[in-house]
Structure 1
Amino acid sequence: MDILCHTFAVDRGDLSRTAVLSNTEAPPAPGEVVLRVDTFALTANNTTYADLGDQLGYWRFFPAEAPWGVVPAWGFADVIASACDGIAPGERLYGYWPMATHARLTPVRLTPDSLVDATGHRQALPAAYNLYLRTSGDPAWRPDLEAIQALLRPVFITSFLIDDLLGDVTPPPEQVVLTSASSKTALGLAWLLQQRGMAVAGLTSAANLAFVQGLGCFGTVLPYDRLDALPRGLCSATVDFAGSGTLRQRVRDHLDDPSAWRLAVGFTHRDATPEAHPPPFFSAADRLRQRGRDWGRDEIARRVADRWADFAPWVAQRLTVQAGRGLADVEAVYRQLLAGGVPANVGHVLSPAA
């Protein structure tokens, strides 16, 4: 039976312009499954996917006709029709979905805890995004923490990889400065750095100051207008989640160390200020590929799962999950994120079905 699918899309040339695209999904062809997308998280991480859609290939995961692009999101979906041996209707998967009511996969490499999507157009894309976890066999899955998993497990992997990269920095930094310290990727990184005894300084807006101070994983927390109080004279590393050239230059000028290690990660405070020496942009996919060669996929998964098992219940006590239903709610939250209007202690987990 054909299935009517509705997809939230954005104009790739004007991210403030949105539409709902509708199409009919045919029954699964041999080897395919069709899923109903149940819930996904919508955070600043998704707007970063849109910002870098062309540069890093995020538009290519779920192609749409120009000028539209489909922003990927992390969450859960249930198989409603299967023509793939080893997967039955009712199975629940965690992974990378379109912001849509339905999705289609071509599963291969089935194991008790995971599978890989082998849909043709995704084969040239980073393998990490083609991996789906089967909740029935995922040792890290907890039904009471599904919302936290959707919100933070993807960005926690990024946090883990940045923390791992910082371990390679020579000389080792004496302090790590995080801009947009209230962002969810920064939160995970600060927690990881604290676990290994690193001094962490966070810069945030005045509105988010109390939240970041209350987390307990930053040694120093300052509003942006007081960044001149950051400790100087230390070997410092800066990880920028804000994406503001003006802010990066202010931090660089204050620390007054041209050789200080710097990395750009996100765009929570976009501006187009040109920089004489912009930091390199972090590619989680590249670091994941490197560690895949060094450690192997199973060892990466084990190390991330070990850290996640401690982090998830800790962070669940510090975030408020807000649920929404329907693509109208998806659009409303997306626009809030573009405008920077989502409180730092709030995470949105949405169901695309009304």
Structure 2
Amino acid sequence: MSTTTLLVRQDQLATTRLLTAEDSALADGRVRVRVEQFALTSNNITYAALGDMLNYWQFFPTGEAGWGIVPVWGFGTVTESLHPDVAVGERLYGYWPMGTHTVLSPHRANAVGFSDGAPHRASLHAVYNHYLRTSTDPLYRADNEDVQALLRPLFITSWLIDDFLEDQQFFGAKRMLLSSASSKTAYGTAFQLAQRGGIEVIGLTSPGNVAFCESLGCYSRVVTYDALDQIDGATPSVYIDFAGSVGLRQRIHAHFTGLAYSCSVGASHVQDLGGAGQLPGPRPVMFFAPAQVKKRHADWGAQGLNDRLVAAWNQFSAAVQTATLPWLVVQHHAGPEATQALFAAVLAGNSDPRAGHIATMQAG
């Protein structure tokens, strides 16, 4: 049997290639998983763009200098197991390579799932190393795997951003500015913020995405990037940057003299990444979701955190799927070449914001 993987040039993300290699015999204590379907969104582009800074390239090393594998969220099924606590046929939700198969080293297995105990992942954050058994996962539903793969990891980040801001009393501000307002992580955050009352949530986007953002119903108003001067700059505000655009960040910091906090989350504008230099106002701070998970785990315990997340996810996923105008229209892409083409399209930013892309490297 062989495994086909999509490799990405780490310093030139548009350069990709497909690699097929024969599988080696499975070592004792390991499992082989068929990666069946995964979401491909601007979130994965962020993983690639920040791969060196936040160690995303380390999860699935290629052994080839300069080439990496972009991690994705989705579902897989165990096809071979030499671990006593993981059965062939088990379906798992978690963090996968863009490939047809992968090998995991289950560690600390229990009824909920297990962690990958591979030595190269030992220093990486537990949130990304954990694999959940769908048979016991409280967020899992067999009839909406696509929505889970597309929105679950993004929504958890959204929920944690909202929780972090509330925990910090919104830094004394009543206005939240969200760039890349059409992105899934941004509108998940807006959905949470909109429920709080007394918070103005302004979506910043390009002209072509205004109608989509307005149709979601979770933004107080939507403003195009070239119309920032229509917003009063003196009002205390928090900037939540999902775009990663240096030029936009400079304009935001210059115009919004009342900026109370600048939160950097994503990097969907990859072509415009870079150091921001000397900015007026607060220094941008990178939001790292696992840090807020750790804090809330200490505050509420594992069950308390899980209960809150499940309740919030159920409310959000219901809103996404029952809207008169769907927030999400799923598109499927099957096969290595189709996945490679999809990665190029998402990287270039050519995707309809209403589209949710589910890919599989398995031949269609």
Please, what TM-score do these two structures have when normalized by structure 2?
0.92
Q: Which residue of 2 aligns with 1:168?
A: 167
**Partner SS for 2:331:** strand
C-alpha separation in 1, matches of 2:71 and 2:86:
23
**Range 309-318 or range 212-221, more displaced:** 309-318
RMSD: 1.6
Specify the code of the residue in structure 2 equivalent to 1:97: W
C-alpha distance in structure 2 between counterparts of 1:262 and 1:134, whole Å:
37
Question: Which runs of 5 or more residues in structure 1 are unaligned?
Answer: none
Deviates more, 1:291-300 or 1:171-180: 291-300
Question: Number of aligned pairs?
Answer: 351
Asked if 1 retains the 8 angstrom alpha-carbon contact of 2:81 and 2:87, the reply is: yes
Cα contact 1:27–1:34 (8 A) shared by 2 = no
Equivalent residue, structure 2, for 1:186: 186
Query: What CA distance in whole angstroms lies between the structure 1 residues aligned with 2:360 and 2:247?
Result: 37
Question: C-alpha separation between the residues in 2 aligned to 1:71 and 1:148?
Answer: 20
Matched with 2:242 is 241
Contact 2:111 2:136 in 1 (8 A): yes
Deviations 1:263-312 (A, max 9, x none): 11111223147431351211122222333333333332222111101111
Q: CA deviation at 1:112?
A: 2.3
Cα offset for 1:231? 4.1
**2:323 maps to 1:324:** no
Cα distance per residue 1:111-152 (max 9 Å; x no partner): 323221111211110000011111111121112211111011
Give, in whole Å, the separation in 1 of the partners of 2:205 and 2:314. Answer: 27
5+ long unaligned stretches in structure 2: none
Aligned to 2:221: 220
2:330 is paired with a residue of what secondary structure? strand
Q: CA deviation at 1:110?
A: 2.4
Task: State the alpha-carbon separation in 2 of the partners of residues 100 and 125 from structure 1.
Answer: 20
Q: State the SS of the aligned residue for 1:181.
A: coil
Letter in 2 for 1:12: Q
Instruction: Report what 2:144 is aligned to.
Output: 145
In the alignment, the residues of structure 2 paired with residue 136 and residue 149 of structure 1 have an alpha-carbon distance, to the nearest angstrom, of 15
Distance 2:118 2:307 in 1: 26
Q: Check conservation: 1:145, 1:312, Cα contact below 8 A.
A: no
Letter of the 1:264 counterpart: S
- State the TM-score, normalized to the length of structure 1: 0.95
Q: Secondary structure at the match of 1:260?
A: strand
Measure, in 1, the Cα distance between the counterparts of 2:328 and 2:8. 28
Q: Distance in 1 between matches of 2:275 and 2:350?
A: 22
Q: 1:352 aligns with which of 353, 357, 361?
A: 361
Q: Secondary structure at the match of 2:286?
A: coil
Which residue matches 2:293?
A: 288
Q: Say whether the 8 Å CA contact 1:244–1:273 is kept in structure 2.
A: no
For residues 192-216 of structure 1, the C-alpha deviation after alignment (integer angstroms, 9 at most, x for no partner) is 1112223200001111110000000
Residues 269-348 of structure 1 mapped to structure 2, 5 A cutoff: 269-270=269-270, 271=272, 272=274, 274-277=276-279, 279-316=284-321, 317-348=326-357
CA displacement at 1:232 relative to structure 2:
4.1
